[in-house]
Amino acid sequence: MQIPTTNLVLVFLFALHYVNRAIVYPMRMSADSQGVPLLVAACAAAITTLNGYLQCFHLTQIVRHPPLTSSLELDNLSRWAGICLFFVGMGANVHADGVLRNLRRRNDDGDDGGNEQDGTTTTTRRHRRHRQHHRQRAYHIPRSPLFARVSCPNFLGEIIEWFGYSMASGFSLPSVAFLLYTMSNLIPRGIAHHEWYLRKFDDYPIERKWAVLPYVV
């Protein structure tokens, strides 16, 4: 069976996200990031494998999406809008992940203002290693326009991405299921991050009122 071009476009969007998430993101992330428990990583791998199979099986064996043209009829327009939203969301996600990564990096090699001399004694060296350990775990308030209103624009970007993918898929059942899964995963996580920021920083920006979705949650 010849796979329609629209289906291939959707497979491409899906694969593009995972080239970033599975290859580029891990290679760029700081080695000092907090570890992930094995069970969590195993669950994520299992779910992502299952979902990848589901999305691609549906797109290559089940559904035949109509061709995308420049016609101004609603279904064409909304699918093009979905593709645009996918890229907007992915741009926001990658940018916000980069801001967070730089916060983590700043801790790794940052000069915290200590004025100790060259560590020649073991005590000094141990002391420094101890301080470095704390520096690596230091958290900062992210500053970037994307963080103006929400604490987790990386999660918001990811949700916009999969909303766009779903819209470009004509809101097919598997694409909507994946969108709901992503939201039920990232919204509670975002709320937890937001509350943590509010507890941890007295000077947390007051305009940053929302966890993930502006004016919603």
Ligand X SMILES: NC(=O)c1ccc[n+]([C@@H]2O[C@H](COP(=O)([O-])OP(=O)(O)OC[C@H]3O[C@@H](n4cnc5c(N)ncnc54)[C@H](OP(=O)(O)O)[C@@H]3O)[C@@H](O)[C@H]2O)c1
Instruction: Count residues binding ligand NAG (CB under 6 A).
Output: 9
Binds 185: which of ligand X, ligand NAG, none (CB < 5-8 Å by kind): ligand X
Binds 69: which of ligand X, ligand NAG, none (CB < 5-8 Å by kind): ligand NAG
Tell me how far apart the alpha carbons of residues 112 and 110 are, in angstroms, rounded to a whole number.
Answer: 6
Give whichever of 101 and 127 is closer to ligand X, judged by the CB atom. 101
Residue 76 touches ligand NAG, criterion: CB under 6 A: yes
Q: Which residues make up the interface to ligand X (CB under 6 A)?
A: 29-30, 33-34, 93, 97, 100-101, 103-104, 139-140, 142, 154-155, 158, 182, 185-186, 189
Tell me how far apart the alpha carbons of residues 31 and 136 are, in angstroms, rounded to a whole number.
Answer: 10
Task: At 105, list the tokens.
Answer: 């990096």
Binds 144: which of ligand NAG, ligand X, none (CB < 5-8 Å by kind): none
Residue 68 touches ligand NAG, criterion: CB under 6 A: yes
Q: How large is the C-alpha radius of gyration of the chain?
A: 21
Tell me how far apart the alpha carbons of residues 13 and 22 are, in angstroms, rounded to a whole number.
Answer: 14
Residue 199 to residues 20, 143, 144, 152, 192: CA-CA distances in angstroms? 32, 18, 20, 16, 11
> b vs e for 72-85, b when ≥16 Cβ sit within 10 Å of the residue's Cβ?
eeeeeeebeebbeb
Binds 154: which of ligand NAG, ligand X, none (CB < 5-8 Å by kind): ligand X
Give whichever of 56 and 68 is closer to ligand NAG, judged by the CB atom. 68
Q: List residues binding ligand NAG (CB under 6 A).
A: 66-69, 71, 73, 75-76, 79
